[in-house]
Structure 1
Amino acid sequence: MAKTKIIQMSDGYLNRTPILQFILLSTLFSMWAVAASLNDILITQFKSVFELSDFASALVQSAFYGGYFLVAIPASMVIKKTNYKIAIITGLCFYIVGCSLFFPASHLATYTMFLFALFAIAIGLGFLETAANTYSSMIGPKQYSTLRLNISQTFYPVGSILGILLGKYLVFQEGESLHVQMSKMSPADAQAFGIEMLQHTLEPYKYMIFILVGVLVLFLVTKFPTCKPEESIKDSTKRSPNGLKALKYLAGNKRFRNGIIAQFLYVGMQTTVWAFTIRLALHLNPNINERTASNFMIYSFIGFFIGKFIANFLLARFSSSKILVVYSVIGSVLLAYVALVPNMTAVYAAIIVSMLFGPCWATIFAETLAVVDKKYTETAGAILVMSIVGGAVIPALQGLVSDSVGSMQYAFVVSMLCFVYIGVHFFKEMKRNAKMKKVSEQTGENIA
């Protein structure tokens, strides 16, 4: 029996999903996850080699997510003027350039050069993520758009685990921790040893270049559907109307503003917890080295992966606002435990927190977008993507607190407060929804 021909509808969706194209698209979620998890490795390595403060070491995440923030709007403009495939190819090219910059960075051995390389990678990932999230939801029947995006997102923790494994075996070495080894050397020997260790940071990116070139070639030779609404194609050469009006409306929408803050804090909290987990393990158990401590990040990403499936099960049965409130309460308590309990159980508490991250990004995104008038959805979505800049701010803030109070562990209170805000925000939303439902039942009207 012949397969049904793939047809694009007027709204940009397809009558069926092209499997090969969908698989290729989903692999991109692993690609940016590898880069993000390697940052956690780099922070630990740079901290010792460059003798950085916690604030300075957190600038790895600032450079990375700062790039995301700056490129979100340009990437959306490229998609609007061309198509998703062009934006993805552009992102892959920037990603390859960024990885290649680790060659001069590892030889120049300057922290600034490494940050520049990470910034270039982030520009590429900004293009990939802006394009792939929407494209994944569009590349098939509309009624299964959320399912497709969830399937694609399951590739993320797989890439995260791969990134940690690359860092564990290619960057971190056997023996005592890097900090302990360098503390036993003379300043000159420690400097030479540090430069030698920096050469290992290049290794994962060598492999990534080969993988990325292969993925780029596959995207170049594979035909992809446009998946753009007919009116979008007709208006692609026109200036977007009511841009200032949309921004004014969104600025005046209190629920939208609160949602943006919640997303900003969530991304920042997730990035911070993962960035400091390896260092927390090294701090609480000086007898282990970086390679052993990286196992805790593998456990964290496995927990994140499992947490996504648990969240999907719960979201199908309970209100998303209620789930986020419960998750936030549990997460806040666990992060308080991480900050205050001076033994290795604090590390395991941080791993459990990773399980609670499962539903956060998608739920905050969807719930915040739902409070916006439909004609401003496109602009609202772009601003929500830009809120990922929280990953640039919160880690640096926690690092600054760590330096100020003299305790990297106590500084986890910063992450705890982020979860507290998310819980308060969704508690208000839960109460509001309950009130609206009651009014709707009394009046017989459907009140949004």
Structure 2
Amino acid sequence: MLIKNPARQLDSGYLDRVPIFQFILLSLLFPMWGAAAGLNDILITQFKHVFELSDAATAFVQSAFYGGYFLIAIPASRIVRRTSYKVGVLIGLSVYIVGCGLFFPASTLATYGMFLFCIFAVAIGLSFLETSANTYSSMLGPRRTSTLRLNISQTFTPIGNLLGVILGKYLIFNTGDSIEAQLDAAPTPEAKLALGHDLLLNTLLPYKYILIVLVCLLVLFLITEYPRSKPVGEAAEKHAGLSETLRVLVRIPQYRKGIVAQFLYVGLQTAVWSFTIRLALDLYPGMNERQATNFMIVGFTCFLGGKFVANALIARYSAARVLVVYCGIGAALLLVAAFGPAGSAIWFVIASNLLMGPCWPTIFGQTLDTIEDKRYQETGGAILVMAIVGGAVVPVVQGAVSDVLGSLQMSYVVSAACFVGILLYFRSNLHHLAPDDAPEPAMQTSGQGGTVREENRE
């Protein structure tokens, strides 16, 4: 029996109220890409010593991951435009399942290239999921609360980050000496190779649990009815081609700035997370990977807590003003981490997670709102997802800076610079706020068969 949608769709594609069950189910997709991103940070630390990689080379894990997003986002958006957001979600879940399954042969072949291919395959599925889910979340309710709604959905992402890191901590990392110390203690090259192979087999374990959850979500989406959330009437009479869409979008100054800001933000977040465990291992000799992972857990907890605080502030104040303050404090924390005392550097890096949480959904929501003609929305959202490629570039830059300077701590100046760039974007948004960007009242919702009324402001 299908689980039906009780909300009424408006001509603009938005709904008159929020269908609670559908919104929660959609939001449960967000921790799934959070878990994959969290596991990447674990894999970087493991691959560093097993494959004997430089800091820049380890960051290619993120290049494979976010490169997949970049390449597939536009094709995914065109499929979503021709079908529906729900179809995009179903494709994303299916490909994600295939990508996780590829870790079975990868853990046996035990080559860096094969693992990168698996990560790339997972990212293809996630690209479909994010291209569909981010825009869909903003559409599942009244237009005036779209940014707040996306912030609420995005609050689930750090829960996935936490779960991914916890799975990696207990299923991939062992107790005892660090990976580097274990490999150095191997009596022969053959023994070292065998140990490295055994360590790589551990990478399969967390993906088994993720596969179970993905299959459950796929079944739930198959049996749940979702609104199309596409414009109807005059707004839907003419379909927009890709070239036409790009010509329109490139003429919107704030949309262009939003692309740059999203590139910088994902690069910042990925670089900070990619090297947190490594920084702890550098600063505290004798610590093993499982112990160092505790710093990531604290960091993701801060990331989650920062989102809740930001949601409350954004519900009361202008989102752009809140984020200007957040970015300024975040940049200062990372500069102190880079150039301050080594003993406290890791704690300033962890504290920066408090300020990162609201950036992605706010940039996404505000940039998407600059597109007045919703015929261009799927492609516009896809290009914003493509900006995730910043996660493929900035960590490599930071890793290269670390290799050149010989200091992973000082390389965090790269992340601080990203925070400054994002601050400038939100500062520019302060001059382009429409009256509807003022603080919004609480979201109106309805349960099954609810009859909550809302003034049509479309």
TM-score by length of 2: 0.87
Summarize the alignment of residues 298-447 of structure 1 with structure 2, pairs less than 5 Å apart.
298-370=297-369, 374=373, 378=377, 379-430=379-430, 432=431
Q: Which residue of 1 aligns with 2:211?
A: 209
- The farther-off stretch of 63-72 and 368-377 is 368-377
Unaligned runs of 5+ in 2: 436-458
Whole-angstrom CA distance in 1 between matches of 2:72 and 2:219: 23
> Could you tell me which amino acid in structure 2 is paired with residue 152 of structure 1?
S
Matched pairs, number: 430
Q: Which residue of 2 aligns with 1:287?
A: 286
> Could you tell me which amino acid in structure 1 is paired with residue 345 of structure 2?
A
Question: SS in structure 2 opposite 1:240?
Answer: coil
Whole-angstrom CA distance in 2 between matches of 1:370 and 1:201: 40
The CA deviation string for residues 289-316 of structure 1, in whole angstroms up to 9 with x for no partner, is: 1111111111111111111122223334
CA 1:361/1:97 → structure 2, altered by over 3 Å: closer, same or farther? same
Question: SS in structure 1 opposite 2:44?
Answer: helix
Q: Does the 8 A contact of 2:35 with 2:162 survive in 1? A: yes
CA 1:29/1:54 → structure 2, altered by over 3 Å: closer, same or farther? same
CA 1:136/1:367 → structure 2, altered by over 3 Å: closer, same or farther? closer
TM-score by length of 1: 0.89
Q: Does the 8 A contact of 1:48 with 1:179 survive in 2? A: yes
The structural deviation recorded for 1:188 is: 2.4
The sequence identity of aligned pairs, in percent, is 56
The CA deviation string for residues 229-281 of structure 1, in whole angstroms up to 9 with x for no partner, is: 2249965xx7525x435434544554443332222111100111011101111
Whole-angstrom CA distance in 2 between matches of 1:84 and 1:428: 31
The structural deviation recorded for 1:359 is: 2.0
Q: Does the 8 A contact of 1:84 with 1:226 survive in 2? A: yes
> Could you tell me which amino acid in structure 2 is paired with residue 401 of structure 1?
V
- The farther-off stretch of 48-57 and 218-227 is 218-227
> Could you tell me which amino acid in structure 1 is paired with residue 295 of structure 2?
F
Whether 1:196 and 2:198 are equivalent positions in the alignment is: yes
Whole-angstrom CA distance in 1 between matches of 2:181 and 2:260: 40
Summarize the alignment of residues 10-25 of structure 1 with structure 2, pairs less than 5 Å apart.
10-25=11-26
The CA deviation string for residues 347-379 of structure 1, in whole angstroms up to 9 with x for no partner, is: 111111000002211232344445556478524
Question: SS in structure 2 opposite 1:42?
Answer: helix
CA 1:411/1:232 → structure 2, altered by over 3 Å: closer, same or farther? farther
CA 1:230/1:169 → structure 2, altered by over 3 Å: closer, same or farther? same
Q: Which residue of 1 aligns with 2:231?
A: 229
CA 1:233/1:125 → structure 2, altered by over 3 Å: closer, same or farther? farther
Q: Which residue of 2 aligns with 1:440?
A: none
Whole-angstrom CA distance in 2 between matches of 1:142 and 1:118: 35
Question: SS in structure 2 opposite 1:224?
Answer: coil
Whole-angstrom CA distance in 1 between matches of 2:179 and 2:295: 18
Q: Which residue of 1 aligns with 2:157?
A: 156
Question: SS in structure 2 opposite 1:225?
Answer: coil
Whole-angstrom CA distance in 2 between matches of 1:433 and 1:352: 30
The CA deviation string for residues 150-199 of structure 1, in whole angstroms up to 9 with x for no partner, is: 33222111111111110010001000110121122233222111110000
The CA deviation string for residues 32-61 of structure 1, in whole angstroms up to 9 with x for no partner, is: 111111100010011111011111110010
The structural deviation recorded for 1:104 is: 0.7
The CA deviation string for residues 107-136 of structure 1, in whole angstroms up to 9 with x for no partner, is: 000000000001110010111111111222
Q: Does the 8 A contact of 1:281 with 1:344 survive in 2? A: no
The structural deviation recorded for 1:100 is: 0.6
Question: SS in structure 1 opposite 2:268?
Answer: helix
- The farther-off stretch of 415-424 and 281-290 is 415-424
Q: Does the 8 A contact of 1:284 with 1:342 survive in 2? A: no
CA 1:21/1:433 → structure 2, altered by over 3 Å: closer, same or farther? closer
The structural deviation recorded for 1:86 is: 1.4
Whole-angstrom CA distance in 2 between matches of 1:76 and 1:51: 38
The CA deviation string for residues 371-414 of structure 1, in whole angstroms up to 9 with x for no partner, is: 55647852443322211110111011111121222222221111
CA 1:29/1:232 → structure 2, altered by over 3 Å: closer, same or farther? farther
- The farther-off stretch of 163-172 and 343-352 is 343-352
Question: SS in structure 1 opposite 2:29?
Answer: helix
Question: SS in structure 1 opposite 2:342?
Answer: coil
CA 1:5/1:408 → structure 2, altered by over 3 Å: closer, same or farther? closer
The structural deviation recorded for 1:97 is: 0.6
- The farther-off stretch of 334-343 and 314-323 is 314-323
Q: Which has the higher contact order (CA 8 A, sep 6+)?
A: 2
CA 1:85/1:256 → structure 2, altered by over 3 Å: closer, same or farther? closer
Whole-angstrom CA distance in 1 between matches of 2:15 and 2:397: 44
CA 1:371/1:220 → structure 2, altered by over 3 Å: closer, same or farther? closer
Q: Which residue of 2 aligns with 1:442?
A: none
Cα RMSD of the aligned pairs, angstroms, is 2.5
CA 1:332/1:261 → structure 2, altered by over 3 Å: closer, same or farther? same
Whole-angstrom CA distance in 1 between matches of 2:334 and 2:154: 25
- The farther-off stretch of 261-270 and 226-235 is 226-235
CA 1:371/1:152 → structure 2, altered by over 3 Å: closer, same or farther? closer
- The farther-off stretch of 44-53 and 330-339 is 330-339
Q: Which residue of 1 aligns with 2:259?
A: 260
CA 1:261/1:174 → structure 2, altered by over 3 Å: closer, same or farther? same
Q: Which residue of 1 aligns with 2:130?
A: 129
- The farther-off stretch of 392-401 and 248-257 is 248-257
Q: Which residue of 1 aligns with 2:441?
A: none
Q: Does the 8 A contact of 1:12 with 1:230 survive in 2? A: yes
Question: SS in structure 1 opposite 2:286?
Answer: coil
Question: SS in structure 1 opposite 2:24?
Answer: helix
